[in-house]
Structure 1
Amino acid sequence: MTARWRKAAGTVMSTAVVFALTGCTVDNSRLDEAQAPAAITVGSGESAESQVVAGIYAEILRGTGSPVEEGAAETRAQYVEDLGTADITVVPDFTGQLLHFFQPDSTLTDPDEVFEELNRSLPEGLSVSDYSDAEVKTEGDATAENVVPLMRSGVLTEDQVKALNVVAGELTSADLAAMVERVRVGELTPAQAADEWLAAR
């Protein structure tokens, strides 16, 4: 992590990056002064794509004032279970893969249709926010695979969901592919790739 982002873990990062990126603010006056911000755990899948995006989510959410922990990489089945038991708050996933996890017989390929059906297929207690234009291409599979945050419902604040939505609007397929390639060749760790992307915003 760069010196800029180490300093940014608290209020400086919140002001210089998240709120500059999102254009929104957190009104701490609405919180009980004795009430600490709710802790958040950001999970990730086993792919480099998931781990890079998880790093971006973690830094963005730290900027909203909540303490954030990053969980170990897990299979989809594991982190879906952890979301259900509140061990994980949010994890990046991919729309088509996630839809097929919950609805294996789906034949949808259009991004909007996949996202809509995914919303209908999620079990109670789980939700997704805006999906990103950033896609993961799977050879021989025409299904849309857009990056999307999978969340435990009702845990993130409105401002935190908005912050993730802005990431969705900023992250591109080219960005993600470039970061993942540098991770795969050992040039960067997923966390370093996430830091560089955020620093460039």
Structure 2
Amino acid sequence: MLLAASRRVLARVLIVAAASAVVSCGNDDSGPAFVVGAGDAIESRVLAEVYAGALARTGLKVAVQPELGQRADYLAALDAGRVALVGEHSGALLGFFDSGSAARTPSAVIEDLNRSLPEGLVVSDPADGTDLRPRVLVTAEAARRDDLDSVAELVPRCAELHAGLAPAPDALRGPGAKPVTGCDFADETPLPDVAALRNALLDNSVQAGVVGGPSALTTSATEGLTVLADSEYALRAENVIPVFRKGLLDDQRIRKLNYVAGELTTDELVEMIRRVRDGAAAGEVARAWLDNHGL
């Protein structure tokens, strides 16, 4: 037990030491680095490397500090000034700071988010090309039988349905709020992963499933299932967005973050997550993406 504890302490020390490795592409080499933080999820590390790489190309001295834990942990590090920026999802961030907000659409979420952020924190543009909302699944057979294409068509039937809830692998997780507006399932069963959810749907243990992110992250585990469309935002908007400490970035560097927002898409983010999951270094994956987009 003592040996295991010592190894955990050593791992934390090495993480902090690694954060001092600075990426810089310009003249601002004096003074402390601008530290971009990342939580434990692969997606969080990918976003940190993308933002850090983009800012480094403006001449800012930048470091990435990974493995900061879950949302509450890395947002506490941001609030305390131990890191200067983290990548987030707009809806989940709003839910963290204002659990009572009823905003669902992308514009309404951003409006409420800007009102709810603590003093000293700001966001730049969300990546409109990303959609990290949970996905609602039914079996392909049920979709055909009941003529179901959308979440809106499912909502009136929610009280009759048993639902399974599963996380999306390697993605940032939501705050645990009710996932589907207007939908009160007969009961909700947490499941460990999408494979377990698929099995439960196919054997009719549950009749609806909610996956906490894009189904593209779990393509093989959703065979035989139908992803219901959600054009009416029964599930709250979740766009990638950077949140950072006010006053640390000038207009040029905020514009750089906005350029990143204008280029990033769900498919590209999923592909970067998959590559890191398969063993690629997050920094190299982010660098390739930035190069491909001229950023």
User: Is the pair's TM-score, using the shorter chain for normalization, greater than 0.5?
Assistant: yes
Match of 1:10 among 14, 18, 25: 25
Match of 2:78 among 83, 99, 116: 83
Query: What are the superposed Cα offsets for residues 92-140 of structure 1, whole Å, 9 maximum, x if unpaired?
Result: 0000100000111223210110011011011101111100022223234
User: What residue in structure 1 maps to residue 256 of structure 2?
Assistant: 163
Answer whether contact 1:37 1:66 (CA < 8 A) is retained: no
Match of 1:55 among 49, 58, 62: 49
Gaps (5+ residues) in structure 2? 1-22, 137-178, 180-234
Q: Aligned runs of 1:92-171 on 2, under 5 Å?
A: 92-133=87-128, 134-140=130-136, 141=179, 142-171=235-264
User: What residue in structure 1 maps to residue 140 of structure 2?
Assistant: none
Measured after TM superposition, the shift of residue 38 of structure 1 is 5.8
Q: Which has the higher helix share?
A: 1
Q: Give the % identical residues.
A: 38
Measured after TM superposition, the shift of residue 61 of structure 1 is 1.0
Distance, in Å, in 2 between the alignment partners of 1:51 and 1:62 is 16
Distance, in Å, in 2 between the alignment partners of 1:190 and 1:138 is 24
Distance, in Å, in 2 between the alignment partners of 1:96 and 1:44 is 18
| Counterpart secondary structure, 2:135 | coil
The residue type equivalent to 1:61 in the other structure is L
For normalisation by structure 2, the TM-score amounts to 0.54
Measured after TM superposition, the shift of residue 37 of structure 1 is 6.1
| Counterpart secondary structure, 2:241 | strand
Which structure is larger by alpha-carbon Rg, 1 or 2? 2
Gaps (5+ residues) in structure 1? 1-7, 12-27
| Counterpart secondary structure, 1:136 | coil
Q: Aligned runs of 1:23-62 on 2, under 5 Å?
A: 36=30, 39-62=33-56
